[in-house]
Chain A
Amino acid sequence: MACCTAADHVTSSAVESTRPLFWGIAGVWVFYAVAALAIVVFVQGVAARVLAWRRAGRGRLPALDASRLWSMARNGLLGLRIFRGDAGAGLMHLLIAWGFLGLFAGTALLSIHEWIVPFLVGDVYLIYSATMEVFGLLLLAGLLWAGVRRYVVRTGRLSRTPGDLVPLLWLGLVGVTGFLLEGARLGAGGAVRLGDWSFVGEALTAIRLPRDQRLVVYQGLWWTHALLSLGLVAWIPRSKLLHTLVAPLNLMVESSPEPSPMGRGQGEGTEPEPTLRARDLLAIDACTRCGRCVDACPSRAAGEPLSPREVVQALRTGPVAAATQTGPGRDLWYCTACLACREVCPVEVTPLELVARLRGAVIEEGSAVPPKLGETLERLHKYQNPWVSKKGQKAAWARDLELEAPELEPAWLYFVGCTTSLDTRAQAIARSIATVLARCGVAFGTLGKKEPCCGDIGRRVGERGLFEDQREATAALLDERGARRVVTSSPHCFDTIARAYGPGREVLHYSQLLARLIDEGKLELARASEGPTKATYHDPCFLGRHNGVYDEPRRVLAAVPGIELVEMEAHGASSVCCGGGGGRMWQTELPDKGDLAGRRIGQAVATGARLLVTACPLCLVMLEDARKTAGLEDRIEVVDLCELVARHLAAAPEGAGE
């Protein structure tokens, strides 16, 4: 492969331009021996990785999906995701990748020319030669840029370990010795002078050497270049350059994020110790430590120690149980499962899947589970909610609400959810949803006092058994009630029931149902008295990034008369987490906790909006608390989307919606 690079062109006769590989080189067999060794080492390195993936057994790699080839082409070959938010990095990578690929292709062509059909002769060779010059320059320019970014500009997110430096230097040396070799060969008379067709080599002949040293220098450079190139080949599978092979593969198999150790319909019964799956190992091998996940992490931004990159790296070197003993292993309770890390990853690694794996290991081992989390999980197990150690409280929100008894066959099962049922602030969401649905003539029922926890918390904190029990119980209850259509208050319940329960139900978040009712003309909203109001919308992570529901809540907002939407700078896919997800809501004892919700409400206030609208009970509770803590009561109001809708119901009778 890269054994002969850009500038390595020689012609054999004065008559016609072409390339003899070994002009002036003795002991060609040594070259072939080393090349064979390099290839063996390379293959052995790749095979070791593939075997490791296969050994991971359970959960084989997902089948390659033809529709993913397009993603691989865009994000693997062109690296389009690298351009996001950092065009310079994208261009830099494109130069290196295509410089390298071009030279690799050139070497492949040369091999064909040497061993199969000689075709690099005459004009074809001239074009070939000039093209290789260009690719060589692209590579060197990209490498130089990369070096400047990492070591001169010192871009914050980039690490500067030996593992980052050596690949840059090595690739650079291969390129530079290639050009020098070309120059030396031309100087030593080992090739027809091609003039502008090998412009770099020609330029380098300006370096004058004594006549008797020319051949020796050329031979020295030849071997240096050959050995460096072969060494690089051998080293690729053991370096971060492994990503050149694995990242495209990762992009191909990653069709949708399943950020949990408990995907759809998997794992009934007992499981052995939590281990990494083939899918995880692939992602770990694809990681290049670029650090975008660190920059995107809301926990990190709030000054907490979690680093998604370090979590991935900790698992690269050791087993899951060992990783839980390291720094990143201890920091994993800060993760809010917001998915921002995957959103920005150029190769679609999902660090939060690995966080979930680590959490599972800690939970099963037991002794390092944070006490408050342990209490929450026990409460979830015994009382089917994370809030109160008391049974039969789930329907308390509806006590003072006058609702007509549901029809015989309600069209929708309204899954209220723990926080919406039990938190005094969030209960307003349940009341407004019930009111709005009733007003639209939507027949709905609930599971009332018997509603279990959907399992979201267990799923996110890695309490796999608890999640499985709750999934089973909830699914059975839904089936018993004949609930084929489920609407939820919480994006968390929505995500879990829609994506982890298996098929057979239509599951919507209420914002989607409201958008549908507006489209159907069943939900009519009137102008409220106070006049036009600026509002901003906070995308809940489990509605937006996790499920791609960005549009419907905004359509509902647009339908509310008098509301003018002003977006925060970070919205949609780049929305910033409130800090309540991934079990963080119940992790009140984390040391050095950052103020995630405070940062987010600050961003909302900066828009000048009077209303901060969200569509998740956890976001509502977190942001409402932050509003009070920051003393922003007079500046902004935090309101759930459905609460806002209920306020604007056409000709609302007294008291509706609250």
Chain B
Amino acid sequence: MNILVCVKAVPETAEAELEISRSGDAVETDDLVFGINEWDAYAVEEAVRLKEARGGTITALSLGGDEAEDVLRRALAMGCDEAIRLEDDELAGSDPATVARALARAIEVRGLEPDLILTGVQSADTGYGQIGVLLAQRLDLPHATLAVGLELEPDAGRIVVQRELEAGTLERVELPLPGLVTVQSGINRPRYVSIMGIRKVRSKTIEQLGVDDLELGKVGPAAAVWSLRTLSLPPAGARAEMLEGSLAQVCARAAEIVREKGGRR
């Protein structure tokens, strides 16, 4: 069973103070720390668990610069066997369709024939949630999104996917392999990767492919169906009200507000 898993390096923004670049169409990332996209960490963990149960090899694929290199290193430390990085200088400013085209070409050029492709549902930075589906289209593979559970049929010819729908409902779908699944967060608990674990895979080579290797033709903004105009930070809300007084007074007032807004009666 050969698995391909797509990973992306994203800036960590949970506690950071974000700044928009002067051009207005990007977030300043100089002071931000990059890490593996949360959903992709679940996808890698799922791939490694499938491998541990059924054998096979895992190839991790990423598009990006040095940060992507670190993320691939981490995927290797988690248990992936090979890693491929697509250099992103010329691909910068590409829309999801072009990125998916590049990933699909990389799979073809490298002659990979994965039985299963896993991606995260979405990325934490742009949140388009399109790569998995577009990649499946490109490769003409069946796909299932929002997976919160994967079960491989004994003969590995099919995979049963639990999909997360609204309001806690689950949908079970069966997918013939080869196929593609986008993985939702919470499907597993990604293992901790120690610094020593990263050091151990330091000597593994990460294969690099450029736009020329992929014969992609037009890429970047020129090939984009749509383009990003501006980013803006949400305006600070003006309706914050600081409650003052004793604990009891604060609580009473808070309860009152909840009632006023139509909360619990």
**0/1 per residue, A618-643, Cβ < 8 Å to B?**
00000000000000000000000000
Contact of A466 among B16, B189, B191, B194 (CB under 8 A): B194
- In the complex with contacts A383-B33, A391-B31, A392-B31, A463-B195 CB distance below 8 A: yes
A369 touches B191 (CB 8 A): yes
B14 touches A389 (CB 8 A): yes
- CB of A460, distance to nearest CB on chain B (Å): 15
| In the complex, B115 has a CB within 8 A of chain A | no
Contact partners of B196 in chain A: CB under 8 A: 270-271, 364, 464-465
Chain B: residues with Cβ within 8 Å of the partner, total of 20
- What 16 additional pairs, Cβ within 8 angstroms, besides A366-B192, A388-B15? A270-B199, A271-B196, A363-B194, A364-B194, A364-B197, A365-B191, A367-B192, A369-B191, A371-B189, A373-B192, A378-B35, A389-B33, A390-B17, A464-B194, A464-B195, A465-B194
A391 touches B192 (CB 8 A): no
| In the complex, A377 has a CB within 8 A of chain B | yes
Contact partners of A382 in chain B: CB under 8 A: 12, 33, 35
- CB of A583, distance to nearest CB on chain B (Å): 13
Contact partners of A466 in chain B: CB under 8 A: 194-195
For this complex, 13 residue pairs linking A to B, each with C-beta atoms less than 8 Å apart, are A271-B196, A364-B194, A367-B192, A369-B191, A371-B189, A382-B33, A389-B12, A391-B31, A391-B33, A463-B195, A465-B195, A465-B196, A466-B195
**0/1 per residue, B166-206, Cβ < 8 Å to A?**
00000000000000000000000101111111111000000
| In the complex, A567 has a CB within 8 A of chain B | no
Contact partners of B199 in chain A: CB under 8 A: 269-270, 465
Contact partners of A366 in chain B: CB under 8 A: 78, 191-194, 197
CB nearest to B34 among chain A residues: A382
| In the complex, A258 has a CB within 8 A of chain B | no
Docked pose: A131 CA to B67 CA in angstroms: 79
Contact of B200 among A270, A381, A383, A468 (CB under 8 A): A270
- Across the A-B interface, give the 6 residue pairs with the lowest CB-CB distance, nearest first: A465-B195, A366-B191, A369-B192, A465-B196, A374-B192, A389-B15
| In the complex, A552 has a CB within 8 A of chain B | no
- CB of B148, distance to nearest CB on chain A (Å): 17
A381 touches B15 (CB 8 A): no
Chain A: residues with Cβ within 8 Å of the partner, total of 28
| In the complex, A295 has a CB within 8 A of chain B | no
- In the complex with contacts A383-B33, A391-B33, A469-B195 CB distance below 8 A: yes
Docked pose: A353 CA to B162 CA in angstroms: 44
CB nearest to B188 among chain A residues: A367
**0/1 per residue, A341-375, Cβ < 8 Å to B?**
00000000000000000000001111101010110
A367 touches B31 (CB 8 A): no
B192 touches A363 (CB 8 A): yes
Docked pose: A465 CA to B33 CA in angstroms: 20
- CB of A373, distance to nearest CB on chain B (Å): 8
CB nearest to B195 among chain A residues: A465
CB nearest to A364 among chain B residues: B194
> Which among B35, B196, B197, B198 has the highest number of chain A CB atoms within 10 Å?
B196
Docked pose: A466 CA to B189 CA in angstroms: 21
- CB of B195, distance to nearest CB on chain A (Å): 3
- CB of B80, distance to nearest CB on chain A (Å): 14
Contact of A390 among B16, B189, B193 (CB under 8 A): B16
- CB of A587, distance to nearest CB on chain B (Å): 14
- CB of B245, distance to nearest CB on chain A (Å): 18
Docked pose: A369 CA to B194 CA in angstroms: 10
A390 touches B192 (CB 8 A): no
- CB of A384, distance to nearest CB on chain B (Å): 10
Contact partners of A365 in chain B: CB under 8 A: 191
Contact partners of A463 in chain B: CB under 8 A: 194-195
> Which among A364, A367, A469 has the highest number of chain B CB atoms within 10 Å?
A367
Contact partners of A389 in chain B: CB under 8 A: 12, 14-16, 33
Docked pose: A374 CA to B41 CA in angstroms: 13
Contact partners of B195 in chain A: CB under 8 A: 381, 463-466, 468-469
CB nearest to B45 among chain A residues: A367
- CB of A236, distance to nearest CB on chain B (Å): 40
Docked pose: A369 CA to B189 CA in angstroms: 10
Docked pose: A367 CA to B33 CA in angstroms: 24
- CB of B159, distance to nearest CB on chain A (Å): 22
**0/1 per residue, A125-136, Cβ < 8 Å to B?**
000000000000
A390 touches B198 (CB 8 A): no
CB nearest to A470 among chain B residues: B195
> Which among A364, A382, A392, A464 has the highest number of chain B CB atoms within 10 Å?
A364
A465 touches B198 (CB 8 A): yes
**0/1 per residue, B4-21, Cβ < 8 Å to A?**
000000001011110000
Within 382-435 of A, Cβ neighbours of B (below 8 Å) are at 382-383, 388-392
Contact partners of B78 in chain A: CB under 8 A: 366
Docked pose: A381 CA to B198 CA in angstroms: 12
CB nearest to B16 among chain A residues: A390
Within 196-218 of B, Cβ neighbours of A (below 8 Å) are at 196-200
Docked pose: A381 CA to B196 CA in angstroms: 12
- CB of A125, distance to nearest CB on chain B (Å): 66
Docked pose: A638 CA to B202 CA in angstroms: 48
- CB of A47, distance to nearest CB on chain B (Å): 34
> Which among B17, B31, B33, B195 has the highest number of chain A CB atoms within 10 Å?
B195
Contact partners of A271 in chain B: CB under 8 A: 196
Contact partners of A388 in chain B: CB under 8 A: 15
Docked pose: A585 CA to B31 CA in angstroms: 27
Docked pose: A365 CA to B52 CA in angstroms: 14
A390 touches B191 (CB 8 A): no
A390 touches B15 (CB 8 A): yes
